[in-house]
Structure 1
Amino acid sequence: MEAVRSLVPLVLVIAIASCLAEFNATESEGKSSCRATVGGTSQSDAHRALILQLNPNEDCTWTLQRPENKSIRLIFSHFQLDPSGGCENENIKVFDGNSTKGSLLGKVCSKHDYVPVFESSSDTLTVQIVTDSVRMRRTVFILYYYFSPGASIPNCGGYLDASQGSFTSPNYPNPHPAMAYCVWHIQVEKGYKIKLNFKDMFIETDEHCRFDFIAVYDGPSTTSGLLGQVCGYVKPTFESSADALTVVLSADYANSYRGFAASYTSVYAEDVNTTSLTCFSDKMRVIISKSYLTLLKYSENNLQLSDPTCRPKISNVVDFSIPLDGCGTIRKVEDHSITYTNIITFIPTSVSEVITRQKHLQIVLKCEMEHNSTVETMYITEDDIIQNQSALGKYNTSMAFFESDSFEKPILESPYYVEMNQTLFVQVSIHTSDPNLVVFLDSCVASPTFAFASPTYDLIKTGCSRDETCEVYPLSGHHGRFQFNAFKFLRTLGCVSRRKRDVSSYKWKTDSVIGPIRLKRDRGASGSSGFQYQIHGEETQNQPFNSLHLFSFMVLALNIVIVAVIIVRHFVKQRTDYKYQKLQNITNGSSLNI
């Protein structure tokens, strides 16, 4: 069969000008006629393999068209272009439609590290190839065929999100279907890599894997970095650099064999010599090295938490993901902190009910939330063996605008365009599984700049409304809510520094920033600068703004106090005698609004 494959291009090499309607060549403006040659199968088929031999200084345009109510899939399974040429000087462009005026589906050049695949929205597609002046041999292998977008092949691709699994080509171990294009997306937990092993493979053999092939990508899509393009009888293995991997099976119209069988496992990405502990808003996570357990002559199967029904995930490490409100985790409120504690113990396998020769192992886990941070401590006791570790983290908070006081639909557009005096609804949330924490709104400051330079305006201060339109909603668990009416700044007054107040016992302080807000009449001059909301922990970038638009938007900064429920019950009633004073107009009547 390989001999037949290699003879076909030699027999059917023809000049472009003599191509039939299914694959037409047109002369490009300002260039000589295209001098490339094409080799392939019968031109009257609805599918075709093309071998293009390109010369320097080409500018060739082809249109693929066939009167069928189907789409076209175009695959560049192998190409050799000028490796020293830039993508602007030498490239292949694919357009959706019957001319280069259609939508650009994509571009192919020598710098691309993947197998380019394009699909049209109708039965017509246009290809334009431009080469530079470098004299070298250029070869492009193209496979195209018509297909029905709604049709599907059973077991052809899918999403795999378990920590380990297996998958096969369609019909395995029987021959896979012709013109199959299957994509498998593998996603494992963050912090892990993926090991992929092909246990069996029989794909049509070719030196460059041009006809049938498997492509493996280091990432979540088919444009991620190509780890390998394989075919034949090989049994390769691949390893991702992160937590995602993409596998593609592409087949042409002939010579289908049994395909492949593959399996994958997740591998913890970081090197852990002994143990590590990380605390999050909703869980604590401990990683124990299997080699460390082996050194101590322990088995990972004999480790358990305070709640033995909560089991770890075992790969090259033992991974306990422990919710703060479950698996036996104990919560304790102390001065200036909330602590969460759990214990991993080793259950020895005794050969006798009377004696044991194994030491008693305990790993005590402790996450401490204090002053806008998380302190992680862990110590291991094995009789006289003690190991201590610590790290630092933060509460995970976010703030967003909502359409109404039901707080069901967040505002996704940015900037957020509003009318003067329009009521705005704001919600701040803490992302944690601990049901005993509530969010208390400590202060909210509005500013016409991201740097919060003067002037600033207090909407909320020390938990009390300072604006007559600002209404703070009752405490509601993990959400703090308030509303106010849009207003305008009149003029800047210089630079004023902001100081954080001290945090009293049982309170933990954090900040969130949201904005900008613009008046609808400023939409045309808004530009593209701005953001909708920020997750706590990310720094706000200082962005340049046109001075004419400096006050045409507003940013809010909100200080949040996270309070233990046991203390909330004893809050004194909030003071409500604050009213805001209108700012004096010191600008001869001219102002810009927010």
Structure 2
Amino acid sequence: MERNAESASSCGGYLSDSGSIYSPGFPYYYPDNSYCVWYLSVPSGQRVILTFHEINLETCCNCDYIAVHDGYSTSSPLLGRVCQNSEMRNFHSSSRYMTIVFRSDYSIAATGFYATFTTSLSESSGRVDCSSDNMNIVISSSFLNSVGYSGYDLYLNDQRCRPQVSSYQVVFNFPLNTCGTLREFSNGRVVYSNDVRAYYSSGGEITRQSNFQLHVGCYMDQDATAQIMYQAKEDINSTITGTGRFNATMNFYTSSSFITPVYSSPYIVTLNQDLYVQVKLLRNDSSLVLSVDTCVASPSPHDFSTRSYDLIRNGCVIDRTYYSFTYGNRNVAQFKFRAFKFLRSHPMVYLQCKVNVCKAHESNSVCTQPCRSRKTRSLKSTYEDATLVLGPIQLKGSEKNKEKTPEKDIAEAKDIAEAKD
């Protein structure tokens, strides 16, 4: 039977609507070998918003921790693990359910944790939309009126940030790095958050008794995409386009100095020519660093598995001509490789690259320790990634030699072997 969380002092339970949860015995020491599971639910069409106010656990994160799951069971996707030194203390679910697990080992107890949970607004009352550069908050005027406020009462963490107000909705639209927006790292995501607050209105008893605050957040997805096209012939030309959730761009440069980008289209190079590539985030952020995770070549921009060739995979260099100028210590990723083409196929070559985005100065991230086994790399870390596509490449004279002969295939095989060496 579900009950309100205000009475949830026991170890776990089924809780609904809103309230508080805390570790057994809080604010006194929790027992050894605790295993508590709270199943939270809110009304249909709303989401669970969880905030940790106090956390005092054993310093060993694998010993005592709180796991927050996005769903109705402990097998639901993990939103994050909260430990003694966790930076991320706010979570929201993607549905009306959230599951919280508290586990302690056989030694070194502490006073535990205290958290509250509440419901999000329904989509008809308010929503937040996120891009890599902006946050857009829309709140229904009818909802504000129902709680005794108007759009003219509202502001953000930075009180100078005020909304556009109409008769039916209130809209905040602002760059992510303004208006007091906070950035946190959680379970492989970068999270941007802010709060909508309100001045007390001069009239209305409900308003004077209310403490209006809406917590809003943007969870940046891991699968950002961008596309770049180039062609391999004699001259040097290129068209470069590409944006992702993080607005990552991938550009060609004329040399290893990475000073002069290539702008013209298509990018025309010769077989075995060194190609210099730089990836960066459009928004300059010194607290983030990049590393190249995987680059796979294909004769098709839509299929990178049927016929493919790896330059680098899971941070481990495969192609001998691949060379990285940066190693997860800068907010750009720079590398080079030698131009090649596929045998007995269209002369175009496309390159798809996945780039890790990590928190700077994090010693145990995939950016600073790039070449790892599949098992090790499956562990969650405070990083995000962006997938970019680069191509096509067309070699010199290949558009004039579409008829294939065994002699041409042998010659091409020799060229590919030289490129790999």
TM-score by length of 1: 0.35
TM-score by length of 2: 0.48
Give the greater-gyration-radius structure (CA): 1
Q: Which has the higher contact order (CA 8 A, sep 6+)?
A: 2
